[in-house]
Amino acid sequence: MANVKTILEEWSVKDLEDNSSLKIQVISCTELGNKPVPGIQVSYLGSYVNYDPERVEKWVYEAGKKGEKEYLIKDKSWIAHEDRYIKNYLIIGSPLKIKVEVKTRSSKPVIKEYTLPFEV
């Protein structure tokens, strides 16, 4: 079966300092990761974060070691600046959720959450 991608949501946060914007695309995939199982992909600034069961299982383990319920995926986030960023989180619980937090220089943080289509 071929992977079917469906856009769940597209949104952006405008920066009035230079009239730019940070665009986020959240995509549901019927096959994601090394096993053909459903997952969610987050796209931003030409980068992708794949939330498939194998990766999520590793992040749940890392969060458990640190005692965190919201695990910031640092290597899959754009956090080079304090006043503008895109942070990708995994929220540990049932159901598992994704949290995307976006901030520009002129905006307050915009936060959206999405439920993952699986448990680990």
Q: How far apart are the C-alpha atoms of 45 and 81, rounded to whole Å?
A: 15
Q: How far apart are the C-alpha atoms of 63 and 51, rounded to whole Å?
A: 15
- 70 φ, ψ to 5°? -120, 110
Q: What is the pLDDT of residue 5?
A: 95
The CATH number fitting domain 5-115, selected from 2.60.40, 2.160.20, 1.20.1070, 2.40.128:
2.40.128
Enumerate residue ranges in the chain where pLDDT < 50: none
111-to-12, 15, 22, 35, 37 alpha-carbon distances in Å? 11, 16, 13, 30, 27
Judging by DSSP bridges, how do beta strands 85-91 and 47-51 pair with one another? Answer: unpaired
Q: 102 with 84: CB under 8 angstroms?
A: no
pLDDT in tens, 27-46: 999 999 888 899 999 999 99
Nearest to 78 by CA among 53, 111, 100: 100
